[in-house]
Amino acid sequence: MKHWLMKTEPDVFSFDALVAAANHTSCWEGVRNYQARNFMRDEFKKGDEVFIYHSSTEVPAVMGIAQVVREAYPDASALDKKSEYFDEKSAKDGVSRWVMVDVRATLRFKKPVTLAAIRATKGLEEMLLLKRGQRLSIQPVADKHWDKIVKMGEAVKV
């Protein structure tokens, strides 16, 4: 079972929004970066667990955990002219070059683990999230990092 981290801007789609969705489940549309797409397409497996991370917000933080419930399938929003995720090149091909997965929120952090806390915690120095210039919206998380952050967050069932 692999562990991942996915970034989202809470103004666009927050962890609470995922929890509020039917069955705590939603597709994860709009990823428009090839490296991130390839992780979803090639490596995301049903049952993999994912940190949901709030970025571009006052207090960037890991908010909780979700589980992959459907593996990669085409992201049709790339073909939808009215979508903010419309992609000209996909539309031209008539085939979406982007994929998405479905995730279900499973655990909420009583104490969201802030970027500052991660930065200040011994043993988490090597996390990709802290790497200079690291902007990938989907990234793998090492097990030892995963375990530490879960403890810090005091995860409870959603």
Interface residues toward DNA, by CB under 7 A: 7, 9, 32-35, 55-57, 60, 89, 115-116, 119, 132-137
- 111 vs 135, which CB is nearer to DNA? 135
- 21 vs 115, which CB is nearer to DNA? 115
- 3 vs 7, which CB is nearer to DNA? 7
**What does the block give as tokens for 59?**
């207090």
- 45 vs 135, which CB is nearer to DNA? 135
The burial of 71, by beta-carbon neighbours within 10 Å (0-12 exposed, 13-18 middle, 19 or more buried), is given as middle
Tell me if 13 sits within 8 A of 77, measured CB to CB: no
Backbone torsion region of residue 52, taken as left when φ is above 0, otherwise alpha when ψ lies between -120 and 50, otherwise beta: beta
Please tell me the distance from the alpha carbon of residue 133 to that of residue 142, in angstroms, as a whole number: 19
Please tell me the distance from the alpha carbon of residue 62 to that of residue 112, in angstroms, as a whole number: 6
Please tell me the distance from the alpha carbon of residue 119 to that of residue 145, in angstroms, as a whole number: 12
Residue 114 C-beta: closest distance to DNA, Å? 9
- 68 vs 129, which CB is nearer to DNA? 129
Tell me if 77 sits within 8 A of 24, measured CB to CB: no
Residue 3 C-beta: closest distance to DNA, Å? 18
